[in-house]
Structure 1
Amino acid sequence: MTNNAAYSRLNPHMAGVRRVDYAALQDRIDAGYLMLGWADPFFPDPCLPEHVIAAAKATLDEGGAHYSLPIGSPQLRRTIAGKLARVNGMSIDPDRELIVTPGSDTGLWQAMQVVISPGDEVLNPVPSYPSNVRNVELMGGVNVPVPLDAERDFALDLDALRQRITPSSKLIVLTQPNNPTGTVHDRATLEALAKIVIDHDLLVVVDQAFEDVIYDGREFVTFATLPGMRERTITVFSLSKGMAMSGFRIGYTVAAPEIMAIMHGTAVNILGAANTAAQAAAVAALQAPSFVDGYRRTFAARRKLATEIFANVPGVRFSAPQAGLMLWLDTSSLGNSRDVADHIAQKARIIVHPGENFGGIGSGYIRIMLSALRDDIAFADALRRTADCLGSFDPQN
């Protein structure tokens, strides 16, 4: 960065932010590199059913070039409330306990900003979605990593969490299911966590972006439905993953009325209004969601294929994900995650996500998405090419 004195006036919490070379990434995409790193289902191929696309088009034809309410259209909020009752076991007031956001990233930012003041300690089970760590730092909070238990499929280590609680602790940020590990925290663990939350007067932000894809009939628990957690939990949801609507940028957040009042009051300042046509598409998707069943079958088949392929790669360890669209590979015996990812990009023209971005022990892992490409044969070929690169990786060259 230049030595211009004006830069000394920047927010000091931004000092550690590194430039991301998005131009170079776009060059690789334009050159035909395959993206197995993005959590963008079926990228770059068409995937959405016609009724979702038609709803967006019809809204544009009928005046959808205008703002909706900053908190989301009444129709979408009512539709989401129906989904929450049906899927999550939550009965909410769509006018007082819900806000529509331009994607779950902005929802996570707003949820944390409502809680975090400079100096507050935030307990962050890691590895975790990078923004859940970075947001804390940018807000002047103190990030307190809590290592997940790698020996138990990255289960939440409640003893490790208790040991890190101090009088300055205010918030826990939980990904459920976990991104990047695909772990689903079970009911007994979450009930024990709820007791800790009450005993220490904490709040919880839950990133629930991958809730739509759960494997092997495993029970999925929405943390806010546990006794005493409704008033202490802000839950952030997404339509980008399970519904493959990443480009529409629609998410939503649920919280108790006292918390949501602040979120409504800051909607214009932090969020703006979500895209009007995208909201109409979200209504259509949520009202007729059966297409998601096909996506689930695709992801389950790819999970099975990926575990078979990578089980034969020397030096690579993993557990089959319990949920989500990703495979979290332990490549620590091969080398640093960025070196491994660079090798795959150079040799196979495939981009995976270096684990170091996810915090904790991530520097020894890479994340591979099971959702890229619409064609299953092309996807299988990409997996095999990635596995071949891992099998031939030599950290000395």
Structure 2
Amino acid sequence: MKAGGDIMAWADPFFPDPSIPESVKKVLHEAVDQGFASHYSMPIGDLLLRKTLAAYITKRTGLTIDPSRNIIITPGSDSGLLFSMMPFINEGDEVLVPDPSYPSNFLNGKLLGAKTVPVPLFEEDNYQFRIEEFEKRLSPKTKMVLFCHPNNPTTTVFRRKSIEDLCEFVKKHDLILVSDQAFQDHIYDGIEFVHPAVLPGMWERTLTVCSISKGIGLSGFRIGYIYANDVIMDVLYGAAVNVLGASSTLSTIGAIAAIEDTEHLQQNYIKLEKRRRLAYEILHDIPGVRMKMSESGILSWLNISKLGSSEEVVSRLMSEAKILVNQGNPYGEQGKGYIRIVTGCFWDDEAAVERFKRIRSVLLDMAQERNLVN
């Protein structure tokens, strides 16, 4: 931060520490030495990367993915999400977005001239879907459901019933589903991860948006991807050069090596799984704070409403702990009274623990001021 301190508000694994695996460094150096990386990739993405991802997706989902018909590379998942919506959304349409959710998911529909309609999720349900809340907000203008799976910011993994209920709702009302799966790579405690696109009747109406930023930990490479059926993909392919341009050729080469390095992905899993436990152990028992252990990814979501507003708590953490975390408010109406901490920051566990303890100290002071400490 410009004022000095640490950033734990940026969903960038191990930030700000170096974290490129040796397998990736090796191919990047070779690519620079050979000089080919100065040239464009195809606007829809390098074929070898699409083949590598197709195999990766097939292994995870069981879907048969044709690298030349079902997948497109994007400069990160942010652009992928907006690009996924563009063929379907016109001015005046409505997009249902669970709340809380990634802030861009509330904004993207508005950028396309549509109305975003938040659908509340509730802490007491572990943020699983109440389909009646979707039904209440359905209108003749509803065209799409856009959701994060696992959820950002809550880390919730939507259980099979939630996903099946949502997909039945989508099919019943002839909608499109965009599934933002940026955090899919690390699911903890043996929780089943259900891919919406594999469920009956969903392949033809689902766009799945993923990236190498979170699980693989290469946020700065700016490589995302979308997979969908060939009818949808034909439209995306046709617009790729105008909207996406082309992903970085050098990043593409690195991404192929990273995806093939399954040992690196497993090492990240072990490290991040330990990290979410450390965060929970240090923060969960603060008076006035409610916190569940993260179900996925690199985040922790804390209910701090008894200590003050999100703005107040974040301000105190900045001024006293010298740590920037996220206010819950940008994540939707249901985010008020919460903070999001990127617990996957820093490479060294002890460096992370030291920051967690600084956060704990400030929150304990706030609890003391409100007579919440016995």
Give the TM interval when normalised to the shorter protein: over 0.9
Question: Which residue identity does 2:336 align to in structure 1?
Answer: S
Question: Which residue identity does 1:75 align to in structure 2?
Answer: L
Cα shift at 1:338:
1.9
Q: Which of 112, 121, 124 is the equivalent residue of 2:85?
A: 112
Name the CA distance, whole Å, in 1 between partners of 2:32 and 2:45.
Answer: 17
Name the CA distance, whole Å, in 2 between partners of 1:196 and 1:311.
Answer: 36
Q: RMSD over aligned Cα, in angstroms?
A: 1.3
> Counterpart of 2:271?
298
Q: Which of 79, 82, 98 is the equivalent residue of 1:125?
A: 98
Q: How many aligned positions are there?
A: 368
1:360 aligns with 2:333: yes
Cα shift at 1:97:
1.2
Write the mapping of 1:167-182 to structure 2, written as runs, cut at 5 A. 167-182=140-155
Preserved CA contact (<8 Å) 1:341 1:351: yes
Preserved CA contact (<8 Å) 2:284 2:292: no
Write the mapping of 1:36-115 to structure 2, written as runs, cut at 5 A. 36-62=8-34, 63-115=36-88
Q: Secondary structure at the match of 1:170?
A: strand
Question: Which residue identity does 1:226 align to in structure 2?
Answer: L
Name the CA distance, whole Å, in 1 between partners of 2:76 and 2:109.
Answer: 19
Name the CA distance, whole Å, in 2 between partners of 1:289 and 1:132.
Answer: 30
Name the CA distance, whole Å, in 2 between partners of 1:189 and 1:238.
Answer: 23
Q: Which of 311, 316, 328 is the equivalent residue of 1:343?
A: 316
Question: Which residue identity does 2:338 align to in structure 1?
Answer: Y
Question: Which residue identity does 2:47 align to in structure 1?
Answer: P
Write the mapping of 1:118-267 to structure 2, written as runs, cut at 5 A. 118-267=91-240
Preserved CA contact (<8 Å) 2:148 2:181: yes
Preserved CA contact (<8 Å) 1:57 1:277: no
Q: What is the TM-score when the length of structure 2 is the normalising length? A: 0.96
Specify every segment of 5 or more residues in structure 2 that has no aligned partner in the other structure, as ranges.
Answer: none
Cα shift at 1:61:
2.2
Name the CA distance, whole Å, in 1 between partners of 2:297 and 2:259.
Answer: 19
Name the CA distance, whole Å, in 2 between partners of 1:244 and 1:380.
Answer: 20
Q: Secondary structure at the match of 1:122?
A: strand
> Counterpart of 2:289?
316
> Counterpart of 1:369?
342
Name the CA distance, whole Å, in 1 between partners of 2:245 and 2:312.
Answer: 39
Name the CA distance, whole Å, in 2 between partners of 1:89 and 1:333.
Answer: 45
Cα shift at 1:293:
1.1
Query: Which stretches of structure 1, 4 residues or longer, exceed 3 Å deviation after superposition?
Result: none
Preserved CA contact (<8 Å) 2:122 2:334: no
Q: What is the TM-score when the length of structure 1 is the normalising length? A: 0.90
Cα shift at 1:60:
2.2
> Counterpart of 2:258?
285
Cα shift at 1:376:
0.6
Cα shift at 1:312:
2.3
Name the CA distance, whole Å, in 2 between partners of 1:176 and 1:315.
Answer: 28
TM-superposition CA deviations, 1:88-124 (whole Å, max 9, x none):
2221111111100110011011011122111111100
Cα shift at 1:49:
1.2
Preserved CA contact (<8 Å) 1:37 1:352: yes
Name the CA distance, whole Å, in 1 between partners of 2:30 and 2:74.
Answer: 21
Cα shift at 1:57:
2.3
Name the CA distance, whole Å, in 1 between partners of 2:184 and 2:333.
Answer: 23
Name the CA distance, whole Å, in 2 between partners of 1:51 and 1:366.
Answer: 36
Q: Secondary structure at the match of 2:288?
A: coil
Name the CA distance, whole Å, in 1 between partners of 2:16 and 2:228.
Answer: 34
Name the CA distance, whole Å, in 1 between partners of 2:27 and 2:326.
Answer: 34
Question: Which residue identity does 1:241 align to in structure 2?
Answer: K
TM-superposition CA deviations, 1:274-314 (whole Å, max 9, x none):
00010000100111221111111111112112112112211
Q: Secondary structure at the match of 1:159?
A: helix
> Counterpart of 1:11?
none
Identity %: 43
Cα shift at 1:387:
1.2
Preserved CA contact (<8 Å) 1:153 1:319: no
Preserved CA contact (<8 Å) 1:71 1:264: yes
Cα shift at 1:336:
1.8
Name the CA distance, whole Å, in 2 between partners of 1:360 and 1:214.
Answer: 26
TM-superposition CA deviations, 1:184-231 (whole Å, max 9, x none):
111122112111111100000000000011010111011101111001
Name the CA distance, whole Å, in 1 between partners of 2:104 and 2:249.
Answer: 26
Preserved CA contact (<8 Å) 1:306 1:383: yes
